[in-house]
């Protein structure tokens, strides 16, 4: 294996000031160069356990997904084939591979273009692992539980009573499994970045019917469409680098930070933001930002 499993244990927490507010940051982006932080947690189960019979891993989703890239790394490490289904592949990307797409191909990903998403029951077998879009499945629990234990240990060391956690959601799997694994003294807050609050609630319900385990959903003042470019998203991304010296991802984190800062008043207890990685995706996002605003932005 390329990566020792211990590398992805126990990411550091840093204390920062942003817009005059103290915020702790859990640096899951530092877990591994190869994996996006959040996906290292979600795919921990597949990294840690032995699968002697498995030969192939199959998944589906968007053509620039962080999960796609992380699965390509996993497959390469384990010597598995990797098939990934997308419903379309733009000509532009096909002739100019970049970002997650480019690096996934380099890792040996076999891209399948099909209108319909593949069905688990037709694919899964003793030799083939099927992974839902974005890793939204029970297996993600093991790695997220590990993250929960790290946060609890840190909170105890810091002698913090009540703690607020904030992280932006795609499928909401990480936020939900975190809240499920944490005691009442730690409240998880999140914001939907893909779809709206109803979609996120629906996702939470699909994973856990017990509403007591659901994170609190906050909404940004304005509606942001996933993957679209916004001047204010880029601005806060830059400001974060200037003020606290950390690069965040350009898809989830700008909406995360904007929403968290807009709601700053409700966080009366210490606040911990989870940096979930995803920096490889910034490559293609920055190209788009440059094209859109045609100026030198990095
Ligand atoms: C995948 C990802 C998310 C979303 O995680 P979910 O568990 O699907 O909510 C957030 N941030 C980054 C950087 C990601 O790669």
Q: What is the pLDDT of residue 183?
A: 97
Q: What is the pLDDT of residue 221?
A: 93
- Across the range 17-46, mean pLDDT stands at 91
Q: With 90 as the cut, is the pLDDT of residue 34 above it?
A: no
pLDDT digits (tens, 9 = 90+) for 220-233: 999 999 999 999 99
- Mean residue pLDDT of the chain comes to 93
- Ligand 1 centroid from CA 46, angstroms: 17
Share of the chain above pLDDT 70, in %: 96
Tell me which of 73, 251, 276, 277 to substitute to probe ligand 1's pocket, judged by most ligand atoms within 8 Å of the beta carbon.
276
Q: What is the pLDDT of residue 2?
A: 45
Q: With 90 as the cut, is the pLDDT of residue 5 above it?
A: no
Residue with CA closest to ligand 1 atom 5:
170
More confident residue, 54 or 287: 54
How far apart CA 160 and CA 142 sit, in angstroms, is: 25
Share of the chain above pLDDT 90, in %: 88
- Ligand 1 centroid from CA 203, angstroms: 14
User: Does ligand 1 come within 6 angstroms of the Cβ of 282?
Assistant: no
Residue with CA closest to ligand 1 atom 13:
278
User: Does ligand 1 come within 6 angstroms of the Cβ of 256?
Assistant: no
Residue with CA closest to ligand 1 atom 4:
170
pLDDT digits (tens, 9 = 90+) for 98-118: 999 999 999 999 999 999 999
Distance of CA 192 to the CA centre of its chain: 12
State which ligand 1 atom lies nearest to the alpha carbon of 168. 10
Tell me which of 28, 62, 170 to substitute to probe ligand 1's pocket, judged by most ligand atoms within 8 Å of the beta carbon.
170
Q: At what angle do helices 282-293 and 99-106 cross, to 10 degrees?
A: 140
Q: What is the pLDDT of residue 1?
A: 45
Confidence of residue 291 (pLDDT cuts 50, 70, 90): confident
- Across the range 64-86, mean pLDDT stands at 95
How far apart CA 54 and CA 273 sit, in angstroms, is: 36
Determine how many CB atoms are found less than 10 A away from the CB of residue 81.
15
Tell me which of 70, 100, 168 to substitute to probe ligand 1's pocket, judged by most ligand atoms within 8 Å of the beta carbon.
168
- Across the range 225-249, mean pLDDT stands at 96
Q: With 90 as the cut, is the pLDDT of residue 18 above it?
A: yes
Q: What is the pLDDT of residue 296?
A: 55
User: Does ligand 1 come within 6 angstroms of the Cβ of 168?
Assistant: yes
Q: What is the pLDDT of residue 180?
A: 97
State which ligand 1 atom lies nearest to the alpha carbon of 278. 13
User: Does ligand 1 come within 6 angstroms of the Cβ of 85?
Assistant: no
Confidence of residue 33 (pLDDT cuts 50, 70, 90): confident
pLDDT digits (tens, 9 = 90+) for 196-209: 999 999 999 999 99
pTM for the whole structure: 0.94
- Ligand 1 centroid from CA 132, angstroms: 13
Tell me which of 2-11, 138-147, 219-228 is least confident: 2-11
Tell me which of 34-38, 122-126, 182-186 is least confident: 34-38
With a CB cutoff of 8 Å and minimum separation 6, the contacts of 284 are 64, 98, 99, 100, 101
Instruction: Compute the residue count for the chain.
Output: 298
CA distances for 30 relative to 10, 175, 178, 255, angstroms: 10, 19, 19, 21
- At residue 202, the 3 state secondary structure works out as helix
């Amino acid at each position: 294996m390329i990566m020792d499993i211990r590398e992805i244990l126990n990411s550091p927490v840093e204390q920062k000031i942003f817009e005059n507010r103290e915020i702790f940051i859990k640096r899951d982006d530092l877990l591994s160069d190869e994996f996006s932080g959040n996906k290292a947690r979600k795919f921990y189960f597949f990294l840690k356990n032995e699968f002697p019979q498995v030969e192939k891993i199959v998944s589906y989703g968007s053509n620039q997904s962080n999960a796609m890239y992380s699965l390509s790394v996993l497959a390469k490490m384990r010597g598995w084939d990797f098939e990934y289904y997308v419903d379309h592949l733009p000509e532009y990307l096909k002739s100019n591979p970049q970002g997650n797409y480019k690096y996934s191909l380099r890792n040996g990903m076999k891209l399948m273009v099909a209108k319909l998403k593949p069905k688990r029951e037709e694919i899964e077998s003793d030799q083939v692992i099927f992974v839902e879009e974005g890793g939204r499945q029970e297996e993600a629990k093991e790695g997220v539980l590990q993250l929960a234990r790290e946060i609890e240990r840190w909170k105890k060391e810091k002698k913090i009573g009540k703690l607020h956690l904030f992280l932006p959601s795609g499928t909401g799997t990480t936020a939900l499994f975190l809240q499920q694994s944490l005691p009442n003294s730690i409240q998880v807050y999140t914001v939907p970045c893909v779809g709206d609050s109803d979609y996120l609630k629906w996702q939470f319900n699909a994973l856990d019917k017990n509403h007591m385990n659901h994170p609190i959903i906050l909404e940004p003042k304005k509606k942001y469409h996933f993957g679209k470019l916004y001047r204010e998203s880029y601005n806060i991304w830059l400001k974060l680098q200037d003020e606290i010296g950390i690069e965040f991802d350009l898809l989830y984190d700008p909406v995360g930070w904007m929403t968290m800062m807009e709601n700053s008043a409700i966080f009366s207890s210490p606040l911990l933001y989870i940096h979930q990685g995803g920096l490889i995706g910034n490559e293609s996002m920055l190209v788009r930002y440059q094209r859109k605003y045609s100026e030198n932005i990095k």
